[in-house]
Chains A and B, each alone.
Chain A
């Protein structure tokens, strides 16, 4: 059973008429992906790279539909040119839900540089960034962001903080059979 912010997000996608959801999976997104996949009114689009999602969202809007994109913070790095060159240049709506890595309590050093860069990179492209750390904040920001994106032709990213996602999402850190090898 999907609960917490993911459940709220799915409900808000429905009530705001989001019809296409593009994603590259992240552990922290799995509940929201499951909820969208189980919804006959929403077309989920599995992407090979997050950049594809930006084209998808632009095309959906041209055809009169609203799209949302789900990605991990590293995936934001894959979207940069498409956001700047299409979304910002054409003042198209864009709505991103980004599950953060590389911040609060990160255990993989390779996640930290891109995770730290997400907010400044998105802001430098003209994307409004809402950082949230609780279920309640997430639901409020998703509602506000959906409104802003599709009524004000804005690009909005809601960053789901690592404090909210929790360490349990990082499967290898908690698996019992995990072994560590050294030099």
Chain B
């Protein structure tokens, strides 16, 4: 059996080209580096901690901004730690939320230890079981093109696990000051005044 064929940086760069004005929440570690490398902008909120919380951060944002698409880009380790969130998303059914997991089957940042997906856990099946209406397991280029079409005009909420090679991620570090990232994101979404003058 050979491993995944897609490279994470190419996957993320293709996703970001198709992103439009979607808001982006990234899970801790490498998914944030990928997003910073190919599409660093104020509408990116990079989690540097809170493992397991990326999906719910995306849900809170998606419910708050039904006028915007919200994408969560995270890792298999983060998604597994917050697995119950998929059931919570399914109950809420936000029509503007997409969850994309870069499934390298490893805990990348901590030294590439295998995760449960390496041992056979199927995240897309778990998302379907949770009740998320649109799910995909992407393994190759055609699958990725299909996902990009779904992100563009398809139904949401959507969950996709994209199998990517467990290569060493390139360290492209976004800012790490959470207060800065928060205010920058809010300014981009809410405008300069409301961002700092909440009512």
Using a CB–CB distance below 8 Å, which chain A residues touch chain B?
17, 19-20, 43, 45-49, 51-67, 81-82, 84-86, 89-92, 150-151
B57:A85 contact, CB within 8 angstroms: no
A60:B64 contact, CB within 8 angstroms: yes
Q: Which of B68, B85, B182, B199 contacts A52 (CB 8 A)?
A: B85
Is B73 interfacial (CB 8 A cutoff)?
no
Nearest CB in chain B: distance from A67 CB, A: 6
A165 to B58, CA, bound (A): 34
Q: Which A residues are in CB contact (< 8 Å) with B48?
A: 89
Q: Please judge, given known A-B contacts A56-B59, A89-B49, A151-B198, whether A63 and B65 are in contact too, CB under 8 Å.
A: yes
Q: Which of B51, B60, B63 contacts A81 (CB 8 A)?
A: B51
Q: Which of B65, B87, B181 contacts A48 (CB 8 A)?
A: B87
Nearest CB in chain B: distance from A34 CB, A: 17
* Majority DSSP secondary structure for residues of B touching A: helix
**5 interchain pairs, CB-CB under 8 A:** A17-B199, A51-B52, A59-B56, A63-B62, A90-B181
A61 to B65, CA, bound (A): 10
B57:A55 contact, CB within 8 angstroms: yes
Q: Which A residues are in CB contact (< 8 Å) with B61?
A: 59-60, 62-63
A20 to B64, CA, bound (A): 8
- A-B pair count, CB < 8 Å, reads 132
Q: Which B residues are in CB contact (< 8 Å) with A66?
A: 198
B62:A59 contact, CB within 8 angstroms: yes
Nearest CB in chain A: distance from B21 CB, A: 14
A62:B179 contact, CB within 8 angstroms: no
A183 to B84, CA, bound (A): 37
A150 to B62, CA, bound (A): 19
Q: Which B residues are in CB contact (< 8 Å) with A56?
A: 56-57, 59-60
Closest 8 CB pairs of A and B: A59-B60, A63-B64, A55-B56, A48-B84, A85-B49, A90-B178, A55-B53, A65-B64
Q: Please judge, given known A-B contacts A58-B57, A91-B178, whether A65 and B63 are in contact too, CB under 8 Å.
A: yes
Using a CB–CB distance below 8 Å, which chain B residues touch chain A?
23, 25, 45, 47-65, 68, 70, 82, 84-85, 87-88, 91-92, 178-179, 181-182, 185-186, 189-190, 194, 198-199
Of all chain A residues, which has the CB nearest B195? A64
B88:A48 contact, CB within 8 angstroms: yes
A59:B58 contact, CB within 8 angstroms: yes
A152 to B57, CA, bound (A): 21
B178:A62 contact, CB within 8 angstroms: no
A163 to B92, CA, bound (A): 35
A89 to B194, CA, bound (A): 22
Q: Please judge, given known A-B contacts A45-B88, A62-B186, A64-B190, whether A55 and B59 are in contact too, CB under 8 Å.
A: yes
Interface centre among B23, B60, B87, B178 (most CB of A within 10 A): B60
Q: Which B residues are in CB contact (< 8 Å) with A84?
A: 49
Q: Which A residues are in CB contact (< 8 Å) with B82?
A: 51-52, 55
Q: Which B residues are in CB contact (< 8 Å) with A20?
A: 60, 63-64
Of all chain B residues, which has the CB nearest A91? B179
Q: Which of A49, A60, A91, A150 contacts B60 (CB 8 A)?
A: A60
Of all chain B residues, which has the CB nearest A151? B198
Of all chain B residues, which has the CB nearest A19? B64
Q: Which of A47, A60, A62, A81 contacts B50 (CB 8 A)?
A: A81
A55:B64 contact, CB within 8 angstroms: no
Q: Which B residues are in CB contact (< 8 Å) with A51?
A: 52-53, 82
Nearest CB in chain B: distance from A54 CB, A: 7
Of all chain B residues, which has the CB nearest A89? B178
